[in-house]
Chains A and B, each alone.
Chain A
Amino acid sequence: MLKTFPKGGVHPAEGKYSANNAIETLPLPKTVSIPIAQHIGAPSKPVVDKGDKVKVGDKIAESAGFVSANIHSSVSGTVVKIDNVMDSTGYKRPCVIIDVEGDEWNESIDRSTDLKKEISLTDKEIINKINESGIVGLGGATFPSHVKLSVPDGKKIDVLIINGVECEPYLTSDHRLMLEKAEEMLIGIQILMKALNVNVALIGVENNKPDAISNLQNIVKDYPGIEVHALKVQYPQGGEKQLIKALINREVPSGGLPLDVGAVVHNVGTALAVYEAVQKNKPLFERVVTLTGKSVKKPSNFMVRIGTPVSNLVEAAGGLPEDTGKIINGGPMMGKAVNSLEIPVVKGTSGILIMPAELSKRKKESNCIRCAKCVSVCPQGLEPYLLNKLALLEKNDKLEAGGVMDCIECGSCSYTCPAGLPLLDYIRLGKSRVSQIIRSRKQ
């Protein structure tokens, strides 16, 4: 019996078209637009000005607080301007725009591909290095990684969990990394273990990636303390809380964090970025992005510099299909539909999904028939039909009592609703209202 989380969950069609296509390096774009807010937390402060020359890996924006992250240039060239550009949030936000000239890297970056296994830095130095390199959670949540590694006093961490689940349909970037960069990733995991002072790291991989699991299992023998676990395919297993429950059967308390149950979760992509930052002194300025979709000619996995316009990826994958109806930044369950192909790739872009028009429209809405399917699929044990109704009526106190803040916005309820109700739309609205109320209460 494969492990999984016990409550709720759905199994959408996987559509992993790009799973067998190796990571290709995307040619450099002409211009990059690097948003200064690519992570959860305070937007960074730009430290470059119009006309400045930058090299690859130079810091262009500085972390603006503890929960924030540095941003580095992904190209060499001249800063054209700092201007508002449409990004994946659907709004125009400030970006540093750089014209690309050549590909000159900052000298301190080690560009060799040799594996560097010994970890010379201490735990404090590792966390500083990660902070300095602007590493954020690459699974899509973009939470600054150094914050997760800085364990507050009084909390004891005994296990590091590495998220290689990639439960979102279509996306394959983590899958390819686990095949192609497994050694580096495992060293990265060791670095994270050292930073957290833990002896156990568990990698959770869903069973629909048997090649990645066997690849990891072959080489993991040389890395004591790290284990690879195959998990039953079940969305949203990539959710922190669900993954912890599946792997070590601990339940993160409502409103709590993984560290309340002695665990820290990092994504496989983040582990690789940590390896590159700590061992090779390479800050986070590129990432793997899956460009896929049913009608895409050449579904691919690209190594992309941050700030590259999405249109460049689309061109490299054979152009925008005729029947395009929707462009999604991320996977089909939690990704965000975007309204322009010119949005830049950011640290949190795990994939770009192009949906054909016939799959882009929602189901027709009809009355709720109280079938309770939403209740049975909710991985958080909530009652989506009720929260939906309460949000419509703006009963904020009842929403809070109903646990709306526990909602992880996985979308299983809307996915499964036979009446096609926009359950998550309203629950999300209710959640944002309630969180505002909670915030004002604290003040």
Chain B
Amino acid sequence: MSKITISPSPHVYEDTTVKRLMFDVVIAMLPVLAISIYFFGMGAIIVTLTAVVSCLAFEWLIQKYMLKQEPSITDGSALVTGILLAFNVPTNLPIWIIIVGSLVAIGVGKMSFGGLGNNPFNPALVGRVFLLISFPVQMTSWPVPTGFSNSYTDAVTGATPLGVMKEGIGAGESVSAIMDKIPSHMEMFYGHMGGSMGEIAAVALLLGFVYLLIRKVITWHIPISIIATITIFTGILWMINPESNADPLFHLLTGGVLLGAIFMATDYVTSPMSVKGIWIYGVGIGLITVLIRVFGAYPEGVSFAILIMNAFVPLINMYIKPKRFGEVRND
């Protein structure tokens, strides 16, 4: 018999590891990836591969040569960041822009704060927003979903339903008139519309959500609080004037609401720790999203909303505490 081990209790552990959690997220993203490849073809594959490879490479290089740590790319977090970054860009984005985005996501968004667990902002969103501000033309010329095609950067481009809606309302058209120009709700649900690679297919995103819930990777609180807030807020606006405001379902199915709510806002590192805090966070993301979409200059605001609420997370964690057992109330 070898020497016996002594350690403080507990002596048993759940088999969940960081790696398993990350790979579960990757599995949950596969349906989205499949639908994107179906609609956008080669472009989706090239963008995803570029983003994933460059994210992994930057993480490895930075850990090895700048931080002089043991590289930990096998934990899967850089893989998740890479796929999420790819999901957040159009499929005709030039490769070099994606590499720049990966560098910003991993280098600035994550490693500059000390790596996994220490970054205040979602790295993939940092990358995306950087690209959106730096390369607005490339980042907003979305390819038209045509079914699988081999075209990459020379794909036919068009506007997203959200963009059409924003422009139409701005030009004084009525919502019902605009609706005729864009895909039906059912088509949007299946993903037949222009947009960033991972945000088009609601059905695939919801499938991923169910998988994450079953595997207990995330709880329902963050996605549902965001979706409910957006539904209620846009619902009120729609009921006030259905001709100048789009219906809530339109808002949910277009743009990055579901992608953001299910995969981006739920990022462990950048979301609050307590359930109460999560509600504040989710409602905040919902409100800011709608404010940007309806009253702001950009047609879409999910990524800004998430980043803004990310910034509040440390504050939320400091002041919103879980209710303690047997807490003595002074009332």
CA distance A368 to B75 in the complex (A): 12
Is there an interface contact between A383 and B322, defined as CB atoms closer than 8 Å?
A: yes
Chain B residue contacts of A375, Cβ below 8 A: 273-274, 322
Q: Write the nearest CB–CB distance from A88 to chain B, whole angstroms.
A: 12
Contact for B10 among A339, A357, A424, CB less than 8 A:
A424
Residue ID in chain A nearest B278 by CB atoms: A372
B324 adjacent to A369 (CB under 8 Å): no
Residue of A nearest to B268 (CB): A371
| C-alpha spacing A32/B4, complex, angstroms | 24
Given A335-B9, A371-B21: A256 in contact with B14 (beta carbons within 8 A): no
Chain A CB within 8 A of B186 CB: no
Among B8, B115, B118, B219, the most chain A Cβ lie within 10 Å of the Cβ of B8
Bound-state Cα–Cα, A320 to B2, Å: 12
Question: Of the candidates B14, B219, B275, B322, which one forms a contact with A416 in the assembled complex, judged by CB atoms under 8 Å apart?
Answer: B14
Q: Does any Cβ of B come within 8 Å of A324's Cβ?
A: yes
Contact A13 B321 (CB under 8 A): no
CA distance A193 to B324 in the complex (A): 31
Is the pair B2, A357 in contact by a Cβ cutoff of 8 Å? yes
For the complex, is A7 an interface residue (Cβ under 8 Å from B)? yes
Interface membership of A304, Cβ < 8 A? no
Residues of B with C-beta under 8 A to A353: 11
In the complex, A403 Cα to B4 Cα: how many Å? 35
A414 touches B20 (CB 8 A): no
Task: Tell me whether B18 is interfacial, beta carbon within 8 Å.
Answer: yes
Other-chain contact of B268, A336, A369, A381, A422 (Cβ < 8 Å): A369
Q: Is the CB of B269 within 8 A of A369?
A: yes
Cβ B14 vs Cβ A10 within 8 A: yes
Q: Any chain B CB within 8 A of the CB of A198?
A: no
Say yes or no: A241 contacts B325, CB within 8 Å.
Answer: yes
A254 touches B8 (CB 8 A): no
Cβ of A90 to closest chain B Cβ, rounded Å:
8
Q: Which stretch (A79-87, A109-117, A326-334) binds chain B?
A: A326-334
Complex Cα distance, B45 from A422, in Å, reads 41
Which positions 199-251 of chain A face chain B at CB distance < 8 Å?
Answer: 241, 245, 251
Task: Indicate whether A326 sits within 8 Å of B11 (C-beta atoms), given known contacts A360-B5, A372-B274.
Answer: yes
Collect the chain A residues with CB atoms within 8 Å of residue B2's CB.
Answer: 325, 357
**A73 at interface, CB cutoff 8 A:** no
| Residues in A neighbouring B4, C-beta threshold 8 A | 324-327, 337, 339, 360
Chain B count of residues within 8 A CB distance of the other chain: 41
B62-79 residues with Cβ-Cβ distance < 8 A to A are 72, 75, 77
A422 and B8 contact, CB distance less than 8 A = yes
Q: B12 an interface residue at 8 Å Cβ cutoff? A: yes
Specify which chain A residues have a CB less than 8 angstroms from the CB of B324 in the assembled complex: 254, 380-382, 403, 406
A363 and B17 contact, Cβ closer than 8 Å, known pairs A254-B328, A383-B322: yes
Interface code B272-289, partner A: CB below 8 Å = 1, 0 otherwise? 111100000000000000
Which residue in chain B gives the minimum CB-CB distance to A381?
Answer: B324
Task: Confirm or deny: A24 has a beta carbon within 8 angstroms of a beta carbon on chain B.
Answer: no
Instruction: From known contacts A251-B326, A370-B273, infer whether A328 and B11 are also in contact, taking CB-CB under 8 Å.
Output: yes
Q: Does B17 contact A420, Cβ atoms closer than 8 Å? A: yes
Q: Does B137 contact A (CB under 8 A)?
A: no
Question: Is B1 close to A, CB under 8 A?
Answer: yes
0 or 1 for each of A118-151: is its CB under 8 Å from B? (1 = yes): 0000000000000000000000000000000000
Asked if B96 CB lies within 8 Å of chain A CBs, one says: no
Counting CB contacts under 8 A, is A252 at the interface? yes
B14 to chain A, nearest CB (A): 5
A302 CB within 8 Å of chain B? no
Most A-side CB within 10 Å, residue of B1, B12, B20: B12
Q: Is B315 an interface residue (CB 8 A)?
A: no
- Nearest-neighbor residue (CB-CB) of B75 within chain A: A366
CA distance A385 to B273 in the complex (A): 9
CA distance A428 to B7 in the complex (A): 13
- Rounded to whole Å, the gap between the CB of B47 and the closest CB of chain A is 26
Other-chain residue from B11, B16, B20 in contact with A333 (beta carbon distance below 8 A): B11
A262 contacts which chain B residues (CB < 8 A)?
none
Residues B279-331 near A (CB distance < 8 A): 321-328
Nearest-neighbor residue (CB-CB) of B117 within chain A: A367
State which of B9, B273, B328 has its C-beta within 8 Å of the C-beta of A253: B328
Query: Most chain-A CB neighbours within 10 Å: which of B116, B268, B326?
Result: B326
Distance of A12 from chain B, by nearest CB (Å): 5
Nearest chain-B residue to A251 (Cβ)?
A: B326
A254 x B326 contact (CB < 8 A): yes
The distance in angstroms between the C-alpha atoms of A346 and B155, with both chains bound, is: 78
- Residue pair B13, A254 in contact (C-beta under 8 Å): no
Taken together as a complex, chains A and B put the C-alpha atoms of A335 and B9 apart, in Å, by: 6
User: What 0/1 pattern do residues 110 to 136 of B give for CB contact below 8 A with A?
Assistant: 000001111000000000000000000
Cα(A417)–Cα(B275), bound, Å: 18
Choose one: B5, B9, B16, B18; the contact of A411 (CB below 8 Å): B9
- 8 Å CB contacts to A: which residues of B16-69? 16-18, 20-21
Hey, which chain B residues are within 8 Å of A328, CB to CB? 11
Which A353-402 residues sit within 8 Å CB-CB of chain B?
Answer: 353, 355, 357, 359-363, 366-373, 375-376, 378-383, 385-386
Max chain A CB contacts within 10 Å: which of B4, B321, B323, B325? B325
- CB of B12 within 8 A of CB of A339, answer no
User: Whole-angstrom distance between the alpha carbons of A376 and B2 in the complex?
Assistant: 38
Q: Which residues of B have CB within 8 Å of A368?
A: 117
- Report the minimum CB–CB distance from B266 to chain A (whole Å): 10
Interface flag for B214 (CB, 8 Å): no
Q: Is B326 in contact with A256, judged by CB distance below 8 angstroms?
A: yes
The answer, yes or no, to whether A425 is at the interface (CB within 8 Å) is yes
**Given A253-B327, A376-B275, list of 4 further CB < 8 A pairs?**
A256-B326, A366-B18, A380-B325, A424-B9
A-B contact pairs, 10 of them (CB 8 A): A10-B14, A90-B6, A254-B324, A254-B327, A322-B1, A326-B5, A337-B9, A360-B5, A418-B16, A419-B18
Q: Which residues of B contact A (CB under 8 A)?
A: 1-2, 4-14, 16-18, 20-21, 72, 75, 77, 115-118, 219, 268-269, 271-275, 321-328
Give the top 7 A-B pairs by smallest Cβ distance, nearest first: A411-B10, A367-B117, A381-B324, A371-B268, A332-B12, A372-B273, A360-B5
